[in-house]
Chain A
Amino acid sequence: MASALEIADLHKSFKTGFIPKKKQILKGISLTVNRGEIFGYLGPNGAGKTTTIKCVLGLIFPDRGDIRVLEKPHLSLPAKEQIGFLPENPYFHDYLNANEFLQYYSRLFKRRDGAGDQKIQDLIKLVGLEKSAHVRLRKFSRGMLQRIGLAQALINEPRLVILDEPLGGLDPLGRKEIRDVIVRLRDEGKTVFLSSHILQDIEMICDRVAIIVDGRIVNQGELRSLISEKLLFTEILLSGIDEKALAGMGESVGTQAGRILLKVSDEEKIGRVIKLVEAQKGKIHSLVPRTETLEDYFVGKVKG
């Protein structure tokens, strides 16, 4: 499959402090993002996620390594014509309103007159800012800035969309809306490369992920192949049972309003719990098997 983004052996160091001391941030990053997929880039704070993205965009220059965007050198204008980028905690020219802002950014692309008015209106609608199109950006909340930031990232109809923490600062509804936009972009054939701390969101929408820890990729691949399907434990929420009768069947995690949450690690004990509930005429409200999540995997990798 043709790649949308290829990074090979990327190294970057910065000199910091009064007496400059070299600090290695990226220590040989190599990854490939396939066309038409949503690729999650995960890592703890300071791991090098944003530094990698800045190298791809030409905001900083790597010490060594090779980056190709849609099979073109990443600094070439034809490559940049095809990229849309939303930075972390975006801040824009706050004296402009949403319309003026998008018009300005559209003029930075090849098309002589920038994107048409209709395109700009469509984007504003896509990110749910119709009512704020004529409001100055300085009056925008963080979530609104994130939305207008996403709109500017899509102004050129990019084939590769790079999003640095796109879901930060959004309320649950806003997160869902942006997630839906990201999935829609993939359905339209675009490639999305996103870094995020919110693992549930990554798990929900990403096809493949890479985990970066301390400047190195510790693993990458399809989400399903990284996370095992193995059952970790089963959570049973039940009521109408004497808690003492459950001794030895599992770990009682908590009791609330007469309901007991029991964590059962042994599959064979699940049947015994069900039989006990039937015998004592109790009630099972839910029974949820827990397999490994991306969070479990991520924590395991980060902690080594």
Chain B
Amino acid sequence: MKIPAIAQMTFKEAIRDRVLYLLLFFALISLAFSRLLALLTVGDRIRIIKDVGLGSLSLFGALMAILMGTSLVYKEIDKKTIFTLLSKPIHRYQFLLGKYFGLILTLFIMLAAMSLIFLVILFFHTFTIEWKLLVAILFIFFELCLITAVAILFSTFSTPILSSLFSLCFYLIGHLSWGLEAPINKMKPGIGKTLTRALYTFLPDLENFNFKTEVVNNLPLPSQVYLPAVLYGFFYTLFVLALATLIFRRRDFI
């Protein structure tokens, strides 16, 4: 009951945050902009709307996860509410998990709201509901779960500004790291190749969750690609949360 209690309170707190609504507002503008962009484009207008729409969900979802994730734990420490909370019979990992799940619930609702608007905009163009888009959105949500864990990890030992910066770097690196694959394949065997491969393995690869191209272009999506992506997301998130707990459990709250 302790983790759900903290999660529920985190949700109550997060849902009141103005930053969330500011980002939601920009996300909606971006979705509306996709319609405008489609009008100005020669070619497949529907594809443009889908592309920009999914991109907006991913980007603004990530910004929500980063900005909220880095501030929620810090706020408890900064405002000293953590003193009374941790004096209660709760483990520190329960506190962190409560915060995490509260934020995940918030992000789920925000993503659901943005997706609904996106699907409605699309419906007015195609007069059909493309359920396949939900696959791409579901994997965006898995990506947000990982980014939230990373934001919480940084917030256990750093200020919100630095944590946001670190988390943003994680997001960018995560989407660009697949670019290392080509040079690795071209490199001659040796220490250079081994080190680069080790780096590539260590760096996050958020493109594992990116099914936008397949969905937008109606490319075949074999079911066996889902499981590795889900497992990758699950274990990476678990690893990051375990790391966050490890740091948080020995921290002094002065």
Contact = CB atoms under 8 A, between A and B. Distances in A.
A250 B5 CA distance: 67
A140 interface: no
Contact of B2 (A60, A86, A95, A107): A107
A93 B13 contact: yes
Contact of A91 (B2, B5, B79, B89): B79
Contacts of B88: 80, 105, 108-109, 156
A78 B9 CA distance: 24
B254 A14 contact: yes
A80 B2 contact: no
A110 interface: yes
B87 A104 contact: no
Contacts of A114: 1, 5
Contacts of A152: 84
B81 to A, nearest CB: 6
B86 interface: yes
B12 interface: yes
A236 interface: no
Nearest to A77: B89
B16 A80 contact: no
A95 B89 contact: no
Contact of A104 (B5, B79, B250): B5
B83 interface: yes
B13 A95 contact: yes
B176 interface: no
B84 A92 contact: yes
Nearest to B76: A93
A61 B9 contact: no
Interface string B149-186: 00000000000000000000000000000000000000
Interface residues of A, number: 33
A149 B5 CA distance: 19
Max chain B CB contacts within 10 Å: which of A54, A114, A156?
A54
B44 interface: no
Interface residues of B, number: 25
A142 to B, nearest CB: 14
A59 B79 contact: no
A105 B84 CA distance: 9
A83 B89 CA distance: 9
B21 to A, nearest CB: 15
Max chain A CB contacts within 10 Å: which of B79, B84, B90, B254?
B84
A260 to B, nearest CB: 51
Given A60-B254, A91-B79, A92-B84, A108 B13 contact: no
Max chain A CB contacts within 10 Å: which of B13, B88, B253?
B88
Interface in B206-254: 250, 252-254
Contacts of A89: 80
Contacts of B9: 93, 96, 104
Contacts of A59: 82-83, 86-87, 252-253
Contact of A87 (B1, B12, B16, B80): B80
B54 to A, nearest CB: 33
A42 interface: no
Max chain A CB contacts within 10 Å: which of B5, B16, B83?
B83
B39 interface: no
A87 B254 contact: no
Given A61-B252, A109-B88, 7 more contacts: A83-B87, A87-B80, A89-B80, A95-B12, A108-B5, A108-B6, A114-B5
6 contacts: A59-B87, A59-B252, A80-B89, A86-B84, A89-B80, A95-B13
